[in-house]
């Protein structure tokens, strides 16, 4: 178990280092970094002074080492738009995105898991058709279209919910449904397929023959063994919501990291873009590491392999 976790931690560190090399390469691929800060009125002395201050007169490997050391301390440089450290600007918006991701995750779990199990257990009934319809609509409707339709119906036509912004709990309803429906559809289908596979297995038939209760069969025997595939998907949902919230945050004018990233790209604010990508990447690989550990806990065969 300890060897398995140590190996996964090493893989995670390697992935973060690879991400840092990619980001540094992109910062140089777009041209000389001085072009972001100097204009046509800058003199040759200004150009040389900025190059020396930014370390551009040193070998590329040394430049990367200096950049990576600063990034490890959370220093990505100042945002061109906000005139503050990029990490501080990203942190200010991260809370709004995480809250939306949390509500979206809860929506996914409470909708997809019970309905997926019910759809598999009640195969061929009205519950199965309801679950499959929700999954079909969720996976075919574009996120931006779904958000606009929800605003049109519940905000414009009926005036029940706010159209944009972050305020009270009612402001979370439409963005939560918009960001969560696609993931809920995918998880619902995955839970249903895993449950159907397990419910048809021999040990479930044996449990039924022994007279084990239906509830015990479903939740203790079938659901636990069907958990491996959905676990991968569900554990990465919240991480996916953080970087996948761009469309939802744009539609609902949500003050989060996704919308901030769009603003940074439009303003060519590379230090801020770097800070956002780094935060999202660390969250992703951290959740992937958590999934690997949960795998080993749920199924010991995984750590043996």
> What CATH number did the domain enclosing 105 receive?
1.10.3720.10
Phi and psi at 102, nearest 5°, equal -65, -50
CA–CA distance, 163 with 152 (Å, rounded to integer) = 9
pLDDT, residue 86, reads 84
pLDDT level of residue 46 (50, 70, 90 thresholds): low
pLDDT in tens, 14-45: 888 888 888 887 777 666 666 666 666 666 66
What's the average model confidence in pLDDT over 60-81? 80
CA–CA distance, 61 with 182 (Å, rounded to integer) = 42
Tell me the residue range of the domain where 64 lies. Answer: 2-72
Q: Do residue 47 and residue 110 come from a single domain?
A: no
Q: Do residue 161 and residue 219 come from a single domain?
A: yes
pLDDT, residue 298, reads 64
Q: Do residue 228 and residue 103 come from a single domain?
A: yes
DSSP-derived secondary structure letter, 300: H
Q: Do residue 97 and residue 68 come from a single domain?
A: no
Phi and psi at 256, nearest 5°, equal -120, -170
pLDDT at residue 116 tops 70: yes
Q: Do residue 166 and residue 114 come from a single domain?
A: yes
Phi and psi at 253, nearest 5°, equal 50, 45
pLDDT in tens, 196-230: 777 777 767 666 676 767 677 766 667 766 666 67
pLDDT at residue 288 tops 80: no
In a 3-state reduction of DSSP, which class is residue 164?
A: coil
Q: Do residue 169 and residue 291 come from a single domain?
A: yes
Q: Do residue 274 and residue 161 come from a single domain?
A: yes
Whether 79 is in a domain gets the answer no
Q: Do residue 62 and residue 132 come from a single domain?
A: no
Q: Which two tokens stand for residue 222?
A: 């079938």
Quote the mean pLDDT of the chain.
Answer: 78
Residues paired with 85 in a beta bridge: 78
Q: Which two tokens stand for residue 108?
A: 């996914």
The answer to whether 298 touches 18, Cβ cutoff 8 Å, is no
Whether 84 is in a domain gets the answer no
Phi-psi region of 75 (alpha: psi -120 to 50; beta: other; left: phi over 0): beta
pLDDT, residue 36, reads 63
Q: Do residue 108 and residue 51 come from a single domain?
A: no
Q: Do residue 107 and residue 253 come from a single domain?
A: yes
pLDDT level of residue 258 (50, 70, 90 thresholds): confident
Q: Do residue 185 and residue 293 come from a single domain?
A: yes
pLDDT at residue 303 tops 60: no
Whether 80 is in a domain gets the answer no
Count up the domains in the chain and report the number: 2
pLDDT at residue 305 tops 60: no
Q: Which two tokens stand for residue 47?
A: 């150009």
Q: Do residue 155 and residue 17 come from a single domain?
A: no
């Amino acid at each position: 178990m300890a060897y398995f976790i140590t190996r996964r931690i090493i893989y995670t560190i390697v992935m973060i280092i690879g991400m840092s090399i990619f980001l540094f390469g992109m910062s140089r691929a777009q041209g000389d970094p001085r072009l972001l800060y100097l204009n046509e009125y800058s003199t040759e002395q200004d150009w040389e002074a900025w190059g020396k201050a930014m370390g551009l007169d040193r070998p590329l490997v040394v430049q990367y080492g200096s950049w990576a050391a600063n990034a490890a301390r959370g220093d990505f440089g100042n945002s061109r738009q906000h005139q503050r450290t990029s990490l501080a600007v990203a942190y200010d918006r991260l809370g709004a995105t995480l809250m939306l991701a949390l509500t979206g995750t809860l929506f996914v779990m409470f909708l997809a898991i019970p309905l997926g199990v019910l759809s598999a257990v009640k195969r061929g009934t009205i519950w199965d058709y309801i679950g499959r319809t929700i999954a079909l609509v969720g996976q075919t409707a574009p996120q931006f279209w779904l958000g606009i339709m929800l605003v049109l119906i519940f905000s414009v036509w009926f005036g029940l919910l706010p159209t944009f912004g972050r305020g009270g709990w009612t402001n979370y309803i439409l963005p939560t449904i918009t960001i969560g429906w696609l993931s809920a559809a995918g998880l619902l289908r995955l839970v249903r397929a895993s449950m159907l596979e397990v419910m048809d297995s021999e040990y479930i038939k044996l449990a039924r023959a022994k007279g084990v209760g239906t509830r015990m069969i479903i939740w203790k025997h079938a659901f636990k063994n069907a958990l491996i595939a959905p676990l991968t998907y569900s554990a990465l949902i919240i991480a996916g919501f953080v970087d996948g919230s761009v469309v939802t945050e744009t539609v609902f004018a949500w003050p989060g990291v996704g919308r901030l990233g769009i603003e940074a790209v439009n303003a060519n604010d590379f230090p801020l873009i770097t800070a956002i990508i780094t935060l999202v990447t660390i969250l992703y690989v951290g959740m992937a590491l958590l999934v690997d550990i949960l795998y080993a806990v749920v199924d010991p065969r995984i750590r043996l392999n």
